[in-house]
Amino acid sequence: MATKTEQQWQAELSADDYRICRLKGTEPAFSGIYESCKTSGIYHCKCCNKALFESSTKYDSGSGWPSFWAAINEQHIKQIHDNSHGMLRVEVVCAHCDCHLGHLFEDGPQPTGLRYCINSASLTLNSKE
């Protein structure tokens, strides 16, 4: 995949999606279209369409963002240490296009104990329904 310029990303994405996906922003809690979504399917990267999460691993974390206890393939996600905003966190980005997805926490349910806390704006759901 060819690398896009910032101008190309700005032309392709809405202003809010660009702020979240490319500038590492965060959508307000409980505002994203997938936060309470129960539709079966595969969640893909908004920027490059790489398959990232299955609806079967999505759960209600109460955090206000879509949460998943596992990625489809760990090689599709990059983990980056993030100490912005006075916090120590693990940022997750698409390994294919560097789209900012959200953060990874170790307070999720079993079997992994992980919570991928992801912005709806970073995702596109391909429904099985």
d(CA 79, CA 57): 19
Catalytic residue among 94, 97, 99, 117: 117
* Beta-carbon-side half-sphere exposure of residue 107 (alpha carbons within 13 Å): 9
Beta strand ranges found along the chain (DSSP E): 41-45, 51-54, 58-59, 67-68, 77-82, 89-94, 100-105, 115-118, 123-127
117 tagged catalytic: yes
- Please say whether the beta carbons of 16 and 111 come within 8 A: no
Residues annotated as catalytic (active site), given as ranges: 117
